[in-house]
Amino acid sequence: MDDKGRIIYQTVYESPVGALTLTASEDALTALSFPQERYPEDVERLTKECEVCIPAADKIPRILRETREWLDIYFSGKRPDFTPALAPEGSEFRKMVWEELLKIPYGCIITYGQIAKQVADRKGILRMSAQAVGGAVGHNPIGIIIPCHRVVGTGGNLTGFGGGIRTKEALLKLEAWIWAGFIFRRREQHCKKEPETNEKKTGGSDEFQRDLRNRELL
């Protein structure tokens, strides 16, 4: 589909980790960007040949209001009990990896190798390159909500993150992880189970959301 003339909406959310730029279509969030993105060209591609609308505070589309509400809850140290409609743009492989990221419960971490195994199982192959998975994780367009910050290196060491290592560390600390030398350790022994998502506030890309429902993510 030709994006020329398509209207997208942007607003800035002031967070404890800096000003986050929220980008959305009429009914779904397409990007959540950090002040210093590792791949700024990804964000530029979203707005290319589109009409960017920065609405007044009293005219912000519902999807952006819901995203701001989600972030308010998250940065208060609580688990949001709903997910805004998401429509990340990317290859089928990247979308598959992002779906696996959405499975990571709040307060838990997983390694790139574990994500690679999950993707390999879904594709019905023996193994998948952790490096290829790392590339897909790095290009996640919707930070925090699609929780790529919960992916760490073997042994729990921090690795690259689109919003910067310090931001990744801050997000993990918010979710009750503490820095212990060169790795993160959980304050509590067990991870908390992710709450059920409120389906009334989900939607977005039909294909992406259908895949999520099929895997009992929503």
Which residue among 50, 53, 108, 148 is the active-site one? Answer: 148
Distance from chain centroid for Cα 10? 17
**Residue 82, both tokens:** 């709903």
**Any idea how long the chain is?**
218
Whether 148 sits among the annotated catalytic residues: the reply is yes
Residues forming the active site: 148
